Amino acid sequence: MPQNHPKADTCHHGHGPKPSAAALAATIADARIRCEAAGLRWTAQRERALELLCQAGGPVKAYDLLTNFKVGASTAPPTVYRALDALVELGLAHRIPSINAYVACYGEDDGHAASFLICDCCGSVEEVSTPTDDLLRTIRRQSAFKASTLTIEAHGNCARCQR
């Protein structure tokens, strides 16, 4: 269950499938390729951040990653934030501003618009396909403004919490 969500302690069911070892390995391998294709180094910190996001099965705050992050002698908050920022830049994760959390992205390459359904009961987050990708392309095509991100968030209750 997502950590530090204000209502997480009142919700008694799980959300968010965690990847199998094989799926996690494939995600990490794909991330390494995408990073190198972008001309960036794939670091142990980036790999650990992505691994922890995938294993979380839902949104997680950067500070919540610190406990299990441990890459090298010690890990300071700026190290975690730099790793997460790199993952967001590469399109491997999204930052969800309204809950100040991060979630792994299993979608397309970077540059797609993110749309999230956020459950206010249990804290689960689902990334959904919406016409926002078209909107982002239209903005880029029709104006001199180069939008780097577009995030749509819908808050409410998921199907499980409605029952």
Measured CA to CA, the distance from residue 37 to residue 60 in angstroms comes to 27
Range ranked top by mean pLDDT from 49-53, 87-91, 105-109, 148-152: 49-53
Q: Identify the weakest region by mean pLDDT among 26-30, 93-97, 123-127, 151-155.
A: 123-127
Give CATH for domain 111-163. 3.30.1490.190
Reduced to 3 states, what is the DSSP secondary structure of residue 137? helix
**Band of the pLDDT at 15, cuts 50, 70, 90?**
very low
Q: Can you read off the two tokens belonging to residue 79? A: 């190290």
104: alpha, beta or left, given left = phi > 0 and alpha = psi -120 to 50?
beta
Determine the pLDDT at residue 11: 35
Determine the pLDDT at residue 128: 84
Would you state the CATH architecture of domain 18-107? Orthogonal Bundle (1.10)
> What φ, ψ does residue 98 adopt, rounded to 5°?
-65, -25
Stronger pLDDT, 155 or 14, i.e. the higher one? 155
Residue 74, exposed/middle/buried by CB under 10 A (0-12, 13-18, 19+)? exposed
Q: Do domains 18-107 and 111-163 have the same CATH topology?
A: no
Q: What is the pLDDT of residues 39-86, one digit of tens each?
A: 999 999 999 999 999 998 788 999 999 888 887 666 788 999 999 999
Measured CA to CA, the distance from residue 144 to residue 17 in angstroms comes to 40
Yes or no: say if 28 and 51 are a contact pair by the CB < 8 Å rule: yes
Tell me the average pLDDT across 31-40: 92
So where are the chain's domains?
18-107, 111-163
